[in-house]
């Protein structure tokens, strides 16, 4: 029989898990893609990086383009691997081809790329949050079929993809080419597990404190200058004047870690202000990171109280800058990342 060849360039989006190991170009690695959920209906718009809600699908916005990375993986996927069999079999089901047409049709997936959320820490995630994490793109799908079934295959393609930006061009020798760019046909979801939380607290009386590898520098000078700038040594401001200065001049905080961030430029550094004398201070996020199968958030709570004896007299040789009950608490929250085995949503 004569053969008809149809070339179908499109995007095959698959959301995968952070546990996905580095992929080499050999057949055995296709087994690592077991569990991908093929979409019921191909879609042109899928928000990779969006949060996932079981029963509804992705909600909210996709990850920023700067937070997505595309890497080339395989050259070809065919029916010689189990992964290829599953993808191609589902493609036949999407087209709703008759069994006899399927028996006389072969599919080849080419130019495979993996599109991944580069950094989960840039997303707003918490325990039990589910998210579309990764996508696989197929640059081309080549279909070979006996000419007797070419009309059925062509009709099925147009029926399923007719609302997309497909253009059909007929060429001599009955060969056809269909362009269907950026159609998402499969996905995978990952979830943030129950976190483990560790806390470390350190008291301080002066403005430079180290806790783990974080160096925290506190600068109260603006508030102190406001309080004592107009008083001679041995005198000091009233309670109302101190409170007004504290409101006008919050505590300046610098957090550094030379082992994080761009170490060539000195590492991580974060600057922020905190108000004085709150009963309960807010936690400040200072660092987030993603390591293999986990997502870590580090935050600090600073409770700083100026030494009342020193400020009341504006004579700082009488005592330390901060009262000895001042403290910093470092909280580390680590979320395990798990694949969602059976994501469910109507139409997905």
pLDDT tens-digit series, residues 66-80: 888 877 766 677 777
Q: What is the pLDDT of residue 288?
A: 85
Alpha carbon distance, N-terminus to C-terminus of the chain: 38
Q: What is the pLDDT of residue 252?
A: 96
Q: What is the pLDDT of residue 64?
A: 92
Q: What is the pLDDT of residue 234?
A: 60
Question: By the 8 A CB rule, do 337 and 295 touch?
Answer: yes
Q: What is the CA radius of gyration of the chain?
A: 30
Q: What is the pLDDT of residue 14?
A: 40
Instruction: List, for residues 209-239, the tens digit of each pLDDT value.
Output: 999 999 999 999 999 888 887 666 667 788 8
Q: What is the pLDDT of residue 56?
A: 92
Q: Quote the distance between the C-alpha of residue 287 and its chain's center.
A: 15
- Between the CA of residue 330 and those of 120, 259, 292, 336, what are the distances in Å? 22, 17, 23, 20
Closest CA to 7 of 108, 149, 112, 88: 108
How many angstroms separate the most distant Cα atoms in the chain? 106
Tell me which residues of the chain have a pLDDT lower than 70. Answer: 1-35, 41-42, 73-75, 161-183, 185, 230-234, 262-265, 310, 312-313, 315-319
On the 0-12 / 13-18 / 19+ scale of CB atoms within 10 A, 240 is exposed
Question: By the 8 A CB rule, do 183 and 9 touch?
Answer: no
Q: Quote the distance between the C-alpha of residue 158 and its chain's center.
A: 35
Q: Which two tokens stand for residue 273?
A: 């202000």
Contacts of 198 (CB under 8 A, 6+ apart): 331, 332
Question: By the 8 A CB rule, do 319 and 310 touch?
Answer: yes
Q: What is the pLDDT of residue 219?
A: 95
Closest CA to 133 of 293, 328, 313, 303: 293
Q: Rounded CA gap, 266 and 253, in Å?
A: 17
Q: What pTM did the predictor assign?
A: 0.64
Q: What is the pLDDT of residue 170?
A: 44
Q: What is the pLDDT of residue 21?
A: 30
Question: By the 8 A CB rule, do 303 and 284 touch?
Answer: no
């Amino acid at each position: 029989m004569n053969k008809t060849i149809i070339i179908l360039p499109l995007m095959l989006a698959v959301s995968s898990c952070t546990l996905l190991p580095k992929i080499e170009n050999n057949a055995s690695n296709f087994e690592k893609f077991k569990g991908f959920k093929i979409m019921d209906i191909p879609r042109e718009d899928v928000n990779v990086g969006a949060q996932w809600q079981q029963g509804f699908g992705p909600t909210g916005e996709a990850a920023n383009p700067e937070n997505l990375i595309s890497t080339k993986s395989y050259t070809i996927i065919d029916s010689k691997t189990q992964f290829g069999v599953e993808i191609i079999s589902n493609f036949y089901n999407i087209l709703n081809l008759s069994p006899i047409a399927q028996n006389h049709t072969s599919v080849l997936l080419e130019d495979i790329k993996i599109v991944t959320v580069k950094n989960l820490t840039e997303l707003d995630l918490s325990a039990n949050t589910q998210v579309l994490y990764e996508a696989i793109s197929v640059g081309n799908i080549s279909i070979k079929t006996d000419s007797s079934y070419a009309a059925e295959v062509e009709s099925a393609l147009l029926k399923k993809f007719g609302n997309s930006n497909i253009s059909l061009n007929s060429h001599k020798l009955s060969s056809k080419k269909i362009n269907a760019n950026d159609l998402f046909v499969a996905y995978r979801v990952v979830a943030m597990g129950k976190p483990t939380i560790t806390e470390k607290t350190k008291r301080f009386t002066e403005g430079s404190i180290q806790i783990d590898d974080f160096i925290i520098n506190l600068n109260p000078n603006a508030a102190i200058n406001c309080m004592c700038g107009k008083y001679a040594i041995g005198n000091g401001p009233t309670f109302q004047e101190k409170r007004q200065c504290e409101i006008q001049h919050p505590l300046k905080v610098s957090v550094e870690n030379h082992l994080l961030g761009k170490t060539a430029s000195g590492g991580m550094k974060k600057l922020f202000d905190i108000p004085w004398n709150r009963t309960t201070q807010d936690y400040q996020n200072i660092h987030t990171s993603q390591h293999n199968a986990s997502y870590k958030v580090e935050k600090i709570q600073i409770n700083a109280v100026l030494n009342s004896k020193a400020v009341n007299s504006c004579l700082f040789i009488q005592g330390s800058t901060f009262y000895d009950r001042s403290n910093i608490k470092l909280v580390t929250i680590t979320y395990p990342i798990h694949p969602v085995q059976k994501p469910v949503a109507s139409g997905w």
